[in-house]
């Protein structure tokens, strides 16, 4: 893959695809503009943009935010999912103005791109306001990619969190412009190589988060590589249910139970330790102030919902991590957004930070969670900006955005 050092950017319009899909809190914002609850992804995008600016490029930043719904740009373009607040924060972090363009690839965007001076930055509106950005139809996506590519002379792919998507701005535009990978993408790929090529052992993987369907594929391929797989969070209830336990109102993907059972058998056959929670913090309802108790993982009351792992599980997971030499963690261990249910996630974060291992945390919510705990800056070897992207990489799949950047231009 080429790096930005290989591009002659001075005086040229450079379209930079970044990942600025930050978590938002609607209640904390002003008007219907939500507040940014964790700006880690914006910070991670700064080095590449700064470098390009210093070299005299005319930088056009593009990114997506959330999942706007609707059949047309007009229906999708809501204030709630506008990138305007993000553009403002990017400007603060860059220490220079970022001109926000309330358009993606139409007339106003063309005008703004054409009017850029050397060493200045503009940012386009949410790419996903254009339905074609994520279209499965190659021609539809391609037509939009033509318009987007026409804004610039060069393309830099730096949105690691989106490289697993076959989207116009990620996959089709680099086929239309001379391109290079940004520093963030190069750094993320280097870390993932370290996890896939000869990791130091024991190699412990911790998976949590909401749904097993997102992560069953990677667990399957990790059985080849990891020595231990610890499973917590919302996805653990499908594993508990697969063992025949009552899980009450906890998150459950009943249709995945056969697949999960097969995984449990496969792990046993291969001698990979697959570790599940032994106790659960179970609440009466899904709310920050819900009444809750610790219950055994094999006996969650039928009228309760699992919100976090219990104290005994925190200890077990801590022991399973203590001698690790390589750790990869994706997915919170509980509903950490509610302080009463953040202890499992916190305990795992602390246990990982105590190891002498090469440690990687991946995933938007996981990264936000660990940053919210205020651990020292070097508590982890690497906090990845990509959840799905790093999981698919570990699974051994080809990532469309990386494949496109690897092609000669
Ligand atoms: P990441 O973004 O790090 O990849 P996911 O998006 O897969 O992680 O999952 C994060 C979400 O999972 C969080 O919003 C968290 O509240 C939720 N979650 C974790 N445990 C539970 C649980 N027991 N019940 C419901 N949701 C949970
Ligand atoms: Mg997430």
* Integer Cα distance of 87 and 121 in angstroms: 10
Is 330's C-beta closer than 6 angstroms to any atom of ligand 1? Answer: yes
Would you call 372 exposed, middle or buried from its count of C-beta atoms within 10 A (0-12, 13-18, 19+)?
middle
Nearest partner of 161 among 19, 365, 16, judged by Cα: 19
Catalytic site residues? 41, 211, 364, 388
Ligand 2 centroid distance, CA of 30 (Å) = 24
Among all bound ligands, the one having the nearest atom to the CA of 297 is: 1
Q: Rounded to the nearest whole angstrom, what is the distance from the C-alpha of residue 363 to the centroid of ligand 2? A: 6
pLDDT band at 221 (very low <50, low <70, confident <90, very high): confident
pLDDT of residue 216: 87
What atom of ligand 1 comes closest to residue 337's alpha carbon?
A: 16
Check if 233 has its Cβ closer than 6 Å to any atom of ligand 1.
yes
- The mean pLDDT value for 284-295 works out to 97
How do beta strands 179-181 and 154-157 pair? parallel
In the predicted model, what is the mean pLDDT of residues 355-362? 95
Closest C-alpha to ligand 1, atom 25: 234
CA of 390 to the centre of ligand 1 (A): 16
- Which residue, 57, 60, 6, 56, is CA-closest to 173? 60
Q: Which atom of ligand 1 is nearest to the CA of 338?
A: 16
Mean pLDDT of the chain: 95
Mean pLDDT of 118-133: 98
Q: Is residue 387 lining ligand 1, measured as CB closer than 6 Å? A: yes
- More reliable by pLDDT, 105 or 388: 105
Atom number, ligand 1, closest to the C-alpha of residue 367? 3
Instruction: Identify the nearest ligand to the CA of 231 by its number.
Output: 1
Does residue 386's CB lie within 6 angstroms of at least one atom of ligand 1?
no
Pocket of ligand 1 contains residue 202 by CB under 6 Å: no
The atom number, within ligand 1, closest to the CA of 232 reads 20
Q: Identify the nearest ligand to the CA of 363 by its number.
A: 1
In this structure, the number of other CB atoms found within 10 A of the CB of residue 117 comes to: 8
List, for residues 63-76, the tens digit of each pLDDT value.
999 999 999 999 99
Q: Whose CA is nearest to atom 21 of ligand 1?
A: 234
Least confident range of 56-60, 266-270, 345-349: 266-270
- Mean pLDDT over 277-301 rounds to 97
At residue 251, the pLDDT reads 96
On whether the pTM is more than 0.95, the answer is no
* Cα 138 to middle of ligand 2, angstroms: 27
Q: Is the pLDDT of residue 376 over 90?
A: no
Residue 26 has pLDDT above 80, yes or no: no
pLDDT for res 191? 95
Count Cβ atoms within 10 A of the Cβ of residue 29 and give its class: 0-12 exposed, 13-18 middle, 19 or more buried.
middle
pLDDT given for residue 222 in this prediction: 87
CA of 335 to the centre of ligand 1 (A): 6
Average of pLDDT values for 315-334?
Answer: 97
Nearest CA to 45 out of 22, 68, 77 is that of: 22
* Residues 344, 309 contacting (CB under 8 angstroms): yes
Does the beta carbon of 212 sit less than 6 angstroms from any atom of ligand 1?
no
Q: First CA to last CA across the chain, in angstroms?
A: 11
């Amino acid at each position: 893959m080429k790096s930005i050092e290989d591009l002659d950017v001075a005086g040229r319009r450079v379209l930079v695809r970044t990942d600025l899909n930050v978590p938002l809190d609607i209640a904390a914002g002003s008007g219907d503009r939500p507040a940014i609850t964790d700006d880690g992804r914006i910070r991670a995008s700064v080095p590449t943009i700064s470098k390009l600016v210093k070299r005299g490029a005319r930088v056009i930043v593009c990114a997506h935010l959330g999942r706007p719904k609707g059949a047309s740009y007009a229906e999708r373009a809501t204030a709630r999912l506008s990138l305007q607040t993000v553009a403002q924060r990017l400007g603060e972090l860059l220490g220079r103005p970022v001109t926000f363009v309330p358009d993606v690839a139409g007339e106003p965007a063309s005008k703004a791109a054409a009017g850029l001076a050397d060493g200045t930055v503009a940012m386009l509106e949410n790419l996903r306001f254009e339905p074609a950005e994520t279209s499965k139809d190659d021609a539809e996506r391609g037509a939009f990619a033509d318009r987007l590519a026409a804004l610039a002379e060069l393309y830099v792919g730096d949105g690691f969190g989106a490289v697993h998507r076959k989207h116009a701005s990620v996959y089709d535009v680099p086929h239309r412009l001379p391109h290079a990978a940004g520093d963030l993408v190069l750094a993320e790929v280097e870390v993932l190589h370290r996890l896939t090529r000869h990791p130091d052992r024991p190699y412990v993987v911790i998976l949590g988060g909401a749904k097993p369907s997102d992560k069953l594929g990677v667990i399957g391929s990790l059985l080849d590589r990891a020595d231990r797989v610890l499973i917590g969070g919302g996805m653990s209830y499908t594993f508990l249910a697969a063992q025949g336990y009552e899980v009450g109102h906890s998150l459950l993907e009943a249709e995945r139970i056969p697949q999960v059972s097969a995984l449990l058998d496969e792990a046993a056959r291969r001698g990979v330790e697959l570790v599940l929670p032994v106790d659960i913090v179970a609440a009466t309802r899904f709310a920050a102030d819900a009444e809750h108790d610790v219950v055994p993982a094999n006996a969650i009351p039928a009228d309760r919902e699992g919100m976090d792992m219990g104290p005994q599980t925190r200890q077990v997971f801590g022991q399973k991590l203590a001698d690790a030499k390589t750790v990869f963690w994706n997915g919170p261990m509980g509903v950490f957004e509610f302080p009463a249910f953040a202890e499992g996630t916190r305990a795992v974060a602390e246990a990982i930070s105590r190891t002498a291992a090469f440690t990687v945390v991946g995933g938007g919510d996981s990264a936000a969670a660990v940053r919210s705990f205020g651990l020292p800056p070097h508590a982890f070897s690497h906090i990845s900006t990509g959840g799905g992207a790093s999981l698919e990489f570990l699974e051994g799949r080809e990532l469309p955005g990386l494949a496109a950047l690897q092609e000669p231009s």
